C-alpha cells in the first residue's frame, strides 16, 4: 500500500477530513453572522449620524430600508406617530406599498399597532388565515392586499413614554431569533431618541423663526446693542428708518447713528442704574420715543441692551394741532362774544356818522372828523369779521380758494400790528394766481404763523430797516403746477444745526415764554394735508425765507 493511500485511510478513520469540512462550515457561518452584525451596527450608526434636521424622515427610511434588505428579506417599513392619544400614519417606504394615505388616523379597536402602543412590547405577527389562533385585526386586510405575510411591530419609547410604532413587513414567513429582535429593539430605541431630538430641535427652530419674523415685522424700530453702543441686531423698521446696511465686518455705533452725546446716553444711564430708560430724541425732522431695556445673563449682569424707538412725529403734530385748535376755538368763542357786544355800538356809530356826513358840508371842519369816525368804525368791523373768519376752524371743507385772499385776510388781522413795530411789509401778490383746492381758514393759519415768526425774528434785530416780504406766484416742476407763497424777513436767521428740527412739535429757538414750538409743526401738517409742503432757506444774521408750496387746482 502506498504512503498516500495509507494517509488517506488514516484520515478517514480518524475523522480529520470531516473536522475540516465542519470547521469551514462553521467559519463560513461565523463570517455571515459577523457581516450581519456589522451591517446592523452600521444601520444603527447611520441612523444616529444621518438622521438630522436637514434630512427628512422619508430619506432616513429609504437609507434604513436599503441596508435592512441586505440582511433581511423585508418588503415594507412604516412609521406611525403617537400624539394627543392619536396614532397617525406618517411615513411609508417604498411609496408604492402605501395603503392608507399619509395622515390616516389608525382606529383603536382590533388594531395590532394600538396593541403595541398599549403593551409597550414588540409584536411579531404572521398573516395566516389558516392558523387556529388567527385573530381578526383591522391591519389584516392591508397586509393581505400588499402580500405581506409576517410583520414585526416595535413601539418607539422615549423616557418611558411611547411616541410611535415602527413596523417591518415581509412577504415571507419570517422567523426572527433573539439576536434579531434585540437588534430591532436597539435600532428603534435609537430611532426614538433621534425623532424626539429632531422634534425638540424643530420646536426651538420654529420658535426662533417665529421670534425672528416677529422681530422683523414689528413696525417700531428695535435695535440690540452691546454695552459700548455697538449695534448687534436690528429689525426691518430700524433698517429702513436709519438706512442701515451693515456688512459682516462693519460695526455701527448707536451713539454715532443718532448723534447722541455719549455722556447723556441711555446706554450709559442703564449701565449705571440697571433700570429701563426713557428719552425723547429728535432725528432728521422726526420726534421719537426711545425706551431702553437691559438684558441680563445668568449672573444678573447686563451684557446687552434692547432699544425700542417709536416715531411719534405724527402723534406730536396731531397733539399740536389739537392744542392749536383748542386755542382757536377759545378765540372763536371770545371773538363771537366781542362781535356780539361791539356790533351794536359799531352799527350805531357807523349809522350816525353816515347820517351826519350827509348833512355836513365837505368844507366844514367836522366833515373830516366824521369821515375818520366812519372809516375807523368800518376798520373795526373788518377786523372783527376777519377774526371770526380765521377762528372758524371747525369748517374743514375743501373747496376752491385763493392763497391771495388768505394773505389779505391775515394782513387785515395783524398787518397794522406789525407795522406799528416799525416793520415794513412788502406785498407782491400775483393777481393771475391759480386757485387751490383747500380750506382758506387753514391756509390763513399757515400765513399767520409764518408772519408772526418773521415778526419775532425781526424784534431781536437792531437794524435801521426791518422788512417782511410776502410774495405769491405760480411755478412748474416736473410738469406739475404749484402755487408758491414765500414769506421773507431780514431778521436773525436760524442756525444750520436747528434747520432739521424747527418743524418738530414743541421745538423752538425763541426765548422762554415767547413761543410754544407748535406753529411750524402745525403749519407743515396743514400743508401736507393739502398735498404740499413747507421749505426753508436761512442764513444766520441775514434772515430766513419760508416757502409754502401747494398744488394748483387742475
Q: pLDDT tens, 323-336? A: 766 666 676 677 67
> What distances in angstroms separate CA 317 from CA 11, 312, 503, 522, 554, one per listed residue?
114, 8, 9, 6, 29
Tell me which residues of the chain have a pLDDT lower than 50: 247-249, 393-395
* Ranges of CATH 3.30.565.10 domains, the chain: 399-551
Q: What is the pLDDT of residue 247?
A: 46
Please, are residues 305 and 225 in contact by the beta-carbon 8 Å criterion? yes
* Ranges of CATH 3.30.450.40 domains, the chain: 33-202
Please, are residues 106 and 90 in contact by the beta-carbon 8 Å criterion? no
Q: What is the pLDDT of residue 473?
A: 93
- Does the domain made of 399-551 have the CATH classification 3.30.565.10? yes
What CATH number has the domain spanning 217-311? 3.30.450.20
Q: What is the pLDDT of residue 393?
A: 47
DSSP three-state, residue 494: coil
Fold of 316-391: Helix Hairpins (1.10.287)
Q: What is the pLDDT of residue 278?
A: 87
* Ranges of CATH 3.30.450.20 domains, the chain: 217-311
Q: What is the pLDDT of residue 29?
A: 63
Name, in order, each residue with C-beta under 8 angstroms of 225's C-beta and a sequence gap of 6 or more. 231, 232, 254, 267, 304, 305, 307
Residue 397 — φ and ψ, nearest 5°? -65, 130
* 418-447: pLDDT as tens digits: 888 889 999 999 999 999 998 888 898 889
Fold of 33-202: Beta-Lactamase (3.30.450)
* Ranges of CATH 1.10.287.130 domains, the chain: 316-391
Give the DSSP per-residue string, 414-429: HHHHHHTTTEEEEEEE
Predicted TM-score (pTM) of the model is: 0.43
Strands 423-429 vs 277-283: parallel, antiparallel or unpaired: unpaired
Q: What is the pLDDT of residue 75?
A: 92
Provide, rounded to the nearest whole percent, the portion of the chain with pLDDT above 90.
17
Q: How many CB atoms lie within 10 A of CB 471?
A: 17
Please, are residues 420 and 538 in contact by the beta-carbon 8 Å criterion? no
The three three-digit cell numbers of residue 517, written as one number: 414750538
Q: What is the pLDDT of residue 76?
A: 92
Sign of CA dihedral 339, 340, 345, 351: positive
Amino acid at each position: 500500500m502506498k504512503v498516500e493511500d495509507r494517509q488517506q485511510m488514516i484520515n478517514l478513520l480518524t475523522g480529520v477530513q470531516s473536522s475540516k469540512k465542519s470547521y469551514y462550515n462553521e467559519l463560513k457561518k461565523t463570517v455571515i453572522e459577523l457581516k450581519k452584525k456589522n451591517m446592523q451596527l452600521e444601520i444603527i450608526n447611520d441612523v444616529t449620524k444621518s438622521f438630522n434636521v436637514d434630512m427628512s424622515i422619508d430619506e432616513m427610511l429609504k437609507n434604513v430600508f436599503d441596508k435592512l434588505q441586505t440582511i433581511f428579506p423585508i418588503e415594507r417599513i412604516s412609521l406611525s406617530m403617537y400624539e394627543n392619544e392619536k396614532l397617525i400614519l406618517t411615513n411609508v417606504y417604498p411609496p408604492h406599498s402605501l395603503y392608507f394615505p399619509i395622515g390616516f388616523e389608525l382606529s383603536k379597536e382590533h388594531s395590532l399597532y394600538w396593541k403595541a402602543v398599549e403593551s409597550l412590547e414588540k409584536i411579531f405577527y404572521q398573516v395566516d388565515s389558516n392558523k387556529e389562533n388567527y385573530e381578526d385585526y383591522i391591519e389584516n386586510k392591508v397586509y393581505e392586499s400588499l402580500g405581506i405575510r409576517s410583520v414585526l411591530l416595535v413601539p418607539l419609547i422615549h423616557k418611558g413614554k411611547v411616541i410611535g410604532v415602527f413596523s417591518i413587513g415581509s412577504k415571507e414567513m419570517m422567523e426572527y431569533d433573539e439576536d434579531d429582535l434585540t437588534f430591532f429593539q436597539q435600532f428603534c430605541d435609537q430611532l426614538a431618541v433621534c425623532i424626539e431630538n429632531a422634534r425638540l430641535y424643530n420646536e426651538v427652530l420654529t420658535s426662533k423663526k417665529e421670534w425672528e419674523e416677529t422681530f422683523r415685522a414689528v413696525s417700531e424700530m428695535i435695535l440690540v446693542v452691546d454695552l459700548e453702543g455697538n449695534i448687534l441686531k436690528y429689525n426691518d423698521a430700524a433698517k429702513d428708518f436709519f438706512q442701515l446696511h451693515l456688512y459682516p465686518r462693519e460695526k455701527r455705533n448707536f451713539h454715532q447713528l443718532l448723534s447722541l452725546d455719549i455722556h447723556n446716553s441711555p446706554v450709559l444711564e442703564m449701565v449705571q442704574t440697571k433700570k429701563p430708560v426713557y428719552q425723547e430724541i429728535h432725528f432728521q425732522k422726526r420726534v421719537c420715543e426711545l425706551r431702553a431695556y437691559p438684558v441680563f445673563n445668568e449672573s444678573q449682569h447686563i451684557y446687552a441692551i434692547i432699544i425700542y424707538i417709536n416715531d411719534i412725529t405724527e402723534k406730536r403734530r396731531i397733539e399740536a394741532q389739537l392744542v392749536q385748535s383748542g386755542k382757536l376755538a377759545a378765540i372763536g368763542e371770545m371773538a363771537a362774544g366781542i362781535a356780539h357786544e361791539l356790533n351794536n355800538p359799531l352799527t350805531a356809530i357807523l349809522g350816525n356818522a353816515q347820517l351826519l356826513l350827509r348833512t355836513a358840508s365837505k368844507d366844514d371842519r367836522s366833515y373830516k372828523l366824521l369821515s375818520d369816525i366812519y372809516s375807523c368804525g368800518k376798520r373795526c368791523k373788518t377786523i372783527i369779521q376777519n377774526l371770526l373768519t380765521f377762528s372758524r376752524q371747525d369748517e374743514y371743507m375743501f373747496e376752491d380758494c385763493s392763497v391771495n385772499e388768505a394773505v389779505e385776510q391775515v394782513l387785515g388781522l395783524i398787518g397794522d400790528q406789525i407795522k406799528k413795530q416799525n416793520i415794513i411789509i412788502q406785498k407782491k401778490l400775483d393777481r393771475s394766481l391759480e386757485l387751490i383746492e383747500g380750506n382758506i381758514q387753514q391756509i390763513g393759519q399757515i400765513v399767520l404763523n409764518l408772519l408772526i415768526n418773521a415778526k419775532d425774528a425781526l424784534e431781536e434785530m437792531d437794524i435801521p430797516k426791518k422788512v417782511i416780504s410776502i410774495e405769491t406766484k405760480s411755478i412748474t416742476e416736473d410738469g406739475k403746477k404749484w402755487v408758491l407763497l414765500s414769506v421773507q424777513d431780514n431778521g436773525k436767521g436760524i442756525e444750520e444745526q436747528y434747520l432739521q428740527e424747527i418743524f418738530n412739535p414743541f421745538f423752538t429757538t425763541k426765548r422762554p415764554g415767547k413761543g410754544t414750538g407748535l406753529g411750524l409743526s402745525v403749519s407743515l401738517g396743514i400743508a401736507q394735508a393739502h398735498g404740499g409742503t413747507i421749505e426753508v432757506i436761512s442764513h444766520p444774521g441775514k434772515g430766513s425765507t419760508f416757502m409754502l408750496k401747494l398744488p394748483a387746482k387742475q
